[in-house]
C-alpha cells in the first residue's frame, strides 16, 4: 500500500515520538582538575554501562620527575609481603605527588619484566613484553627489548648472563644479584655462587664493568650480597664455568639490551614494564598480538580492573586506571582499554598489571576503588613529582558537610566543603577513600560498596580533611523457608 503525503508525515512523527520516548543512555560525566603546573587529573563516570575511569595527563618538564620505585625498596624480603608494598604507602614514604602500580609479579616482589631505577637495570625484560622508559631529558621510550649480557673471565672465555635480580632457575641459568635484590641471592636448586667485591654501580644498559671475586661457594643455593658488590649464582651449564673462578681474580660483566629500538634504552633512567601492547603507531593492536605475548583469551576478552600507560603525539604521558568487578564499574577488556587510551590521545600504549593491583594515588589519596576492597601490595610502581609545587602553610579553615555519614551498601551521599559560610568549588579539592568502603568521585559523591567503618578524605589548600563514615550491610534477603539469612557462597 502506498502512503499519501500526509500519511507519510504522520508516520514520521509517530516514529520520532517512539524514538524520543525510548530510554536514552546517560552521557558520561567528565571532570578535569589541574593538580600541578604540568599535571591534569581526569575522571570519567558512566552509568550505562557502569564504568569509572581515572587518570593523569603529564606534560614532561624540567620540574617534573617520574621515578621507578620497588616495593619496600628491594625485590625480596622475608616478611609477609615478600618485598611488596601498597602504592599509597610507597607514595607517602617518597613524598610523591602521585603514584601508579606497574608490572606483573609472582607472590614475591620480583617485577616480571624490565625495570630500571636511577639509571640501573634492576630486572631484565620478559620475552615479548613491552616496557616504557624515560630519559633524563623527559623523552619517552617504548619497546620490547631483550637482555643481551655476558660474563667473561680474564682468559677471554665467556657465557651468557641470563637474569638480573631474580631467583636462579634450576636448569642452566646464570643470574647477577645486587643489593637491589635484598640481603641474599637465592636459587631454586643448588649450583655455584660467586660472591663479588668492588662491583661498580649503577649497572647501566650498554655498560661493561669489572668486579673482583671474593668467594666461590660450591653446591650453594644462596649467598649473602655485599652492599658494594654482588653475587653470581648459576645452575646447570653455568656451573663448570663458575667453578674455575678463584678468589682475587677479576671478571667482566657486560649488560645490554637488543631488539625493538634497543639503542634508545641506553639513555633511559627510569622504566617499568607490563604487557601486552594496546596501541602502536596510533592504532589499536589486534588481539592476536596479545596472545603472542602470552595473554590468553580469557585475560584480554573479559572485563577486569585495568591499568595502562602511554604517550601522546605531543610527548605527554597518560596514566590510566579503570575500576572493575564492582557495581559502580564493570571494568574493561583489553580492546576496550585500547580505545580508552586512544580517546585520550595515546599513540603508543601498554597494559600494566591490573585486577586488585590497579591503584592510582594522588596527594596520598586513593582516587580509584581497588577491587579487593583494600590495596594489594605490589612489586614496583611509578612515582610522580613536580618540583614547582609550593608547600605553603594552609591559609583558611575548612569543614566537610555532612560532618559524619551513615548509609547502607548501595546508597550514595554527596559531600561538600565549606570555608566559613561559603561553599568551596569542587574544582579546588581532591577526594579519596583509603578505607575501601566504597567509591567517591571528584564531585564529592560517595557510593557505599562494602560494610564497615572508615573515613572519606579531601585535600584542599595543602591540608587534608576527614569525615567519619559508617556503612551498614543491606537487610538480609529472606531464604526459601521464609526466614532471613541462610548460607551464601562468594567467588
Average pLDDT over residues 92-103: 97
Strands 283-284 and 317-322: unpaired
Quote the pLDDT of residue 2: 57
Q: Can you tell me whether residue 476 is helix, strand or coil?
A: coil
Percent of the chain with pLDDT over 70: 92
Quote the pLDDT of residue 87: 98
* Cell, residue 76: 625480596
Average pLDDT over residues 196-222: 96
Strand order in the sheet with 365-366: 64-70, 380-386, 98-101, 360-362, 365-366
CB neighbour burial string for 72-102, b if at least 16 within 10 angstroms, e if fewer: bbbbbbeeebbbbbbbbbbbeeeebbbbbbb
Q: Can you tell me whether residue 226 is helix, strand or coil?
A: coil
Q: What is each CA distance from 198 to 74, 195, 209, 243, in whole angstroms? A: 20, 10, 10, 20
CB 138 within 8 A of CB 61: yes
State how far the Cα of 117 lies from the Cα of 110, in Å rounded to an integer.
Answer: 14
Residue 485 pLDDT > 60, yes or no? Answer: no
State how far the Cα of 170 lies from the Cα of 177, in Å rounded to an integer.
Answer: 16
CB 367 within 8 A of CB 432: yes
Average pLDDT over residues 246-250: 96
Residue 23 pLDDT > 70, yes or no? Answer: no
* Cell, residue 456: 572519606
Quote the pLDDT of residue 166: 97
Quote the pLDDT of residue 14: 55
- For 446, residues 6+ apart whose C-beta sits below 8 A from its C-beta are 405, 412, 413, 414, 415, 433, 438, 439, 440, 456, 469
Backbone angles phi, psi at 101, to 5 degrees: -65, 155
Q: In the structure, what pLDDT confidence band is assigned to residue 484 with cuts at 50, 70 and 90?
A: very low
Residue 345 pLDDT > 60, yes or no? Answer: yes
H helix or E strand, kind and range, residue 297: helix 297-301
Average pLDDT over residues 186-200: 96
| Residue pLDDT, tens place only, 382-436 | 999 998 887 777 788 999 999 999 999 999 999 999 999 999 998 899 999 999 9
Residue 94 pLDDT > 90, yes or no? Answer: yes
**CA atoms in the 13 A half-sphere facing the CB of 185:** 35
Residue 300 pLDDT > 70, yes or no? Answer: yes
- For 6, residues 6+ apart whose C-beta sits below 8 A from its C-beta are none
SS (H, E, C) 164-209: ECCCECCCCCEEEECCCCCCEEEEEEEEEEEEEECCCCCCCCCEEE
**CA atoms in the 13 A half-sphere facing the CB of 106:** 8
This prediction has a pTM of 0.90
Quote the pLDDT of residue 6: 57
Q: In the structure, what pLDDT confidence band is assigned to residue 9 with cuts at 50, 70 and 90?
A: very low
| Residue pLDDT, tens place only, 121-141 | 999 999 999 999 999 888 999
State how far the Cα of 221 lies from the Cα of 189, in Å rounded to an integer.
Answer: 6
Mean per-residue pLDDT over the chain, rounded:
92
Amino acid at each position: 500500500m502506498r502512503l499519501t503525503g500526509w500519511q507519510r508525515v504522520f508516520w514520521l512523527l509517530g516514529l520520532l515520538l517512539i524514538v524520543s520516548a525510548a530510554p536514552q543512555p546517560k552521557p558520561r560525566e567528565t571532570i578535569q582538575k589541574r593538580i600541578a603546573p604540568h599535571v591534569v587529573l581526569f575522571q570519567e563516570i558512566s552509568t550505562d554501562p557502569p564504568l569509572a575511569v581515572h587518570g593523569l595527563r603529564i606534560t614532561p618538564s624540567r620540574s617534573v620527575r617520574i621515578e621507578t620505585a620497588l616495593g619496600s625498596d628491594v625485590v625480596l624480603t622475608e616478611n609477609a609481603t615478600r618485598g611488596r608494598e601498597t602504592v599509597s604507602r610507597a607514595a607517602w614514604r617518597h613524598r610523591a605527588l602521585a603514584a601508579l602500580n606497574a608490572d606483573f609479579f609472582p607472590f614475591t616482589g620480583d617485577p616480571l619484566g624490565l625495570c630500571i631505577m636511577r639509571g640501573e637495570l634492576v630486572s631484565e625484560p620478559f620475552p615479548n613484553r613491552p616496557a616504557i622508559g624515560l630519559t633524563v631529558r623527559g623523552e619517552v621510550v617504548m619497546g620490547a627489548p631483550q637482555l643481551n649480557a655476558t660474563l667473561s673471565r680474564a682468559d677471554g672465555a665467556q657465557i651468557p648472563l641470563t637474569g638480573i635480580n631474580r631467583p636462579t632457575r634450576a636448569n642452566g641459568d646464570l643470574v647477577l644479584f645486587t643489593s637491589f635484590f635484598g640481603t641474599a641471592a637465592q636459587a631454586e636448586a643448588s649450583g655455584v655462587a660467586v660472591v663479588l667485591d668492588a662491583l661498580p654501580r649503577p649497572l647501566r644498559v650498554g655498560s661493561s664493568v669489572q668486579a673482583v671475586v671474593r668467594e666461590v661457594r660450591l653446591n650453594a643455593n644462596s649467598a649473602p650480597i655485599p652492599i658494594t658488590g654482588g653475587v653470581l649464582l648459576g645452575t646447570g651449564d653455568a656451573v663448570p664455568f663458575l667453578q674455575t673462578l678463584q678468589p682475587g681474580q677479576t671478571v667482566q660483566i657486560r649488560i645490554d639490551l637488543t631488539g625493538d629500538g634497543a639503542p634508545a634504552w641506553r639513555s633511559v633512567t627510569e622504566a617499568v614494564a607490563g604487557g601486552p601492547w594496546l596501541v602502536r603507531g596510533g592504532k589499536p593492536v589486534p588481539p592476536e598480538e596479545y596472545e603472542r605475548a602470552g595473554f590468553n583469551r580469557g585475560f584480554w576478552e573479559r572485563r577486569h580492573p585495568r591499568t595502562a600507560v602511554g604517550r601522546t603525539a605531543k610527548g605527554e604521558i597518560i596514566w590510566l586506571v579503570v575500576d572493575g568487578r564492582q557495581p559502580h564499574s564493570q571494568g574493561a577488556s583489553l580492546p576496550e582499554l585500547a580505545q580508552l587510551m586512544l580517546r585520550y590521545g595515546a599513540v603508543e600504549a601498554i597494559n600494566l598489571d591490573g585486577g586488585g593491583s590497579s591503584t592510582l594515588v594522588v596527594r596520598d589519596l586513593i582516587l580509584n576503588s581497588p577491587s579487593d576492597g583494600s590495596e594489594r601490595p605490589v612489586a614496583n610502581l611509578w612515582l610522580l613529582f613536580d618540583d614547582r609545587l609550593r608547600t605553603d602553610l594552609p591559609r583558611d579553615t575548612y569543614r566537610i558537610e555532612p560532618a559524619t555519614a551513615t548509609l547502607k551498601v548501595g546508597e550514595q551521599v554527596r559531600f561538600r566543603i565549606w570555608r566559613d559560610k561559603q561553599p568551596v568549588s569542587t574544582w579546588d579539592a581532591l577526594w579519596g577513600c583509603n578505607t575501601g568502603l566504597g567509591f567517591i568521585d571528584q564531585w564529592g559523591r560517595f557510593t557505599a560498596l562494602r560494610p564497615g567503618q572508615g573515613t572519606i578524605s579531601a585535600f584542599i589548600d595543602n591540608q587534608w580533611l576527614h569525615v567519619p563514615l559508617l556503612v551498614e550491610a543491606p537487610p538480609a534477603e529472606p531464604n526459601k523457608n521464609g526466614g532471613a539469612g541462610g548460607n551464601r557462597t562468594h567467588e
